[in-house]
């Protein structure tokens, strides 16, 4: 765990790089090969129900944003904590609610730049939308051509109806993970009222954190909006959920939202605003 005082690290996160350009190979692949479309939506989304056409819109709009967010947050953390994973040759990653996997590619891009001894990554992405997983699998296959290390990725279609179904994770997820991430996925459980009036962040964090290996990183990212179903600002709900799960964020954005900017062939300076909390073990 990082030993720098939290108030100092908060000031340091203000200096992180927050503007990213999508790599040319990735831009060309998702837009020209897969047919992704840029189509922004400001409503409370429930992506799990989307069809293939909807997911191509998601791929062209929110995949690049998640790529930028993950790349910037993890890069800043490894820059401030250079000993983290420094000598590791293999890293395992779990992505809960992975969607099309923008955050995964952003994360492994940083790992490829920061960890010279890394020669293998094992990725376990789970999501309830099969169209998203199909696109993710194709992006991962293409990414193997652009990274020097071996990438082992086995995606799992897991549909969680309510908090009782979280027990399914114990049968699907084996062992521990060096990095666990969830990007803009838990808000869907809130919108769909799948956990009734229970705090979705609390129950999902409580289910996932025990699967984190010693010295690992647990990163929760979500949108900053006021949720029309829960009648609450999601960052406040996220913070309360972590407190109830007895987890303390070692790093987080200042306030309740941080802007990140991504540029790609279909949009210059696309801005997303997120709340993120990073817990180390």
| pLDDT tens digits for range 58-109 | 999 999 999 999 999 999 999 999 999 999 999 999 999 999 999 999 999 9
Residue 225 per-residue DSSP state: P
Tens of pLDDT, residue by residue over 241-272, are 999 999 999 999 988 799 999 999 999 999 99
Instruction: Please give the pLDDT value at position 45.
Output: 58
Split into its structural domains, the chain has a count of 1
Instruction: Please give the pLDDT value at position 78.
Output: 96
CATH number of the domain where residue 101 is located = 3.40.50.150
Instruction: Please give the pLDDT value at position 227.
Output: 85
pLDDT at 135 over 80: yes
Residue 39 per-residue DSSP state: -
Residue 167 per-residue DSSP state: G
CB atoms within 10 A of CB 219: 24
Instruction: Please give the pLDDT value at position 172.
Output: 81
pLDDT band at residue 177 using 50, 70 and 90 as cut-offs? very high
Per the domain annotation, does 175 fall within a domain? yes
pLDDT at 230 over 90: no
Per the domain annotation, does 1 fall within a domain? no
Per the domain annotation, does 126 fall within a domain? yes
Contact 218, 280 (CB under 8 A): yes
Instruction: Please give the pLDDT value at position 48.
Output: 67
Contact 109, 24 (CB under 8 A): no
Per the domain annotation, does 19 fall within a domain? yes
Average the pLDDT over 102-123 and give the result: 97
Q: Of 250, 178, 248, 249, nearest to 213 (Cα)?
A: 178
pLDDT at 14 over 90: no
For the ranges 30-34, 94-98, 136-140, 195-199, which has the lowest average pLDDT?
A: 195-199
pTM for the model: 0.91
Contact 222, 238 (CB under 8 A): yes
pLDDT band at residue 163 using 50, 70 and 90 as cut-offs? low
Per the domain annotation, does 244 fall within a domain? yes
pLDDT band at residue 40 using 50, 70 and 90 as cut-offs? confident
Instruction: Please give the pLDDT value at position 169.
Output: 82
Which residues constitute the domain of residue 39? Answer: 6-80+88-156+163-280
Average the pLDDT over 199-224 and give the result: 95
Average pLDDT, the chain: 90
pLDDT at 7 over 50: no
Among 4-18, 193-207, 209-223, top mean pLDDT goes to 209-223
């Amino acid at each position: 765990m990082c030993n720098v005082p939290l108030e100092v690290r908060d000031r340091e996160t203000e200096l992180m790089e927050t503007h990213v350009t999508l790599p040319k190979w990735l831009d060309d692949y998702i837009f020209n090969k897969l047919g992704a479309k840029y189509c922004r939506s400001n409503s409370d989304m429930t992506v799990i129900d989307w069809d293939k056409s909807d997911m191509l819109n998601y791929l062209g709009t929110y995949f690049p944003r998640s790529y930028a967010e993950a790349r910037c947050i993890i890069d800043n953390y490894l820059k401030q904590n250079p000993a983290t994973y420094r000598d590791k040759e293999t890293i395992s990653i779990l992505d809960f609610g992975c969607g099309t996997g923008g955050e995964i590619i952003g994360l492994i891009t940083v790992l490829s730049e920061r960890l010279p001894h890394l020669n293998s990554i094992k990725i376990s992405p789970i999501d309830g939308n099969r169209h998203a997983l199909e696109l993710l699998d194709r992006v991962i296959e293409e990414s193997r051509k652009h990274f020097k290390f071996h990438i082992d990725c086995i995606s799992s279609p897991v549909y969680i109806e309510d908090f009782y179904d979280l027990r399914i994770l114990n049968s699907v997820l084996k062992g521990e993970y060096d990095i666990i991430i969830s990007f803009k996925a838990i808000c869907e459980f809130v919108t769909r009222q799948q956990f009734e009036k229970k705090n979705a962040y609390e129950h999902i964090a409580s289910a996932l954190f025990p699967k984190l290996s010693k010295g690992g990183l647990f990163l929760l990212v979500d949108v900053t909006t006021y949720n029309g179903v829960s009648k609450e600002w999601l960052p406040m709900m996220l913070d309360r959920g972590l407190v109830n799960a007895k987890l303390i964020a070692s790093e987080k954005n200042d306030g309740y939202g941080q802007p990140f900017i991504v540029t790609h062939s279909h949009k210059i300076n696309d801005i997303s605003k997120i709340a993120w909390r990073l817990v180390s073990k």
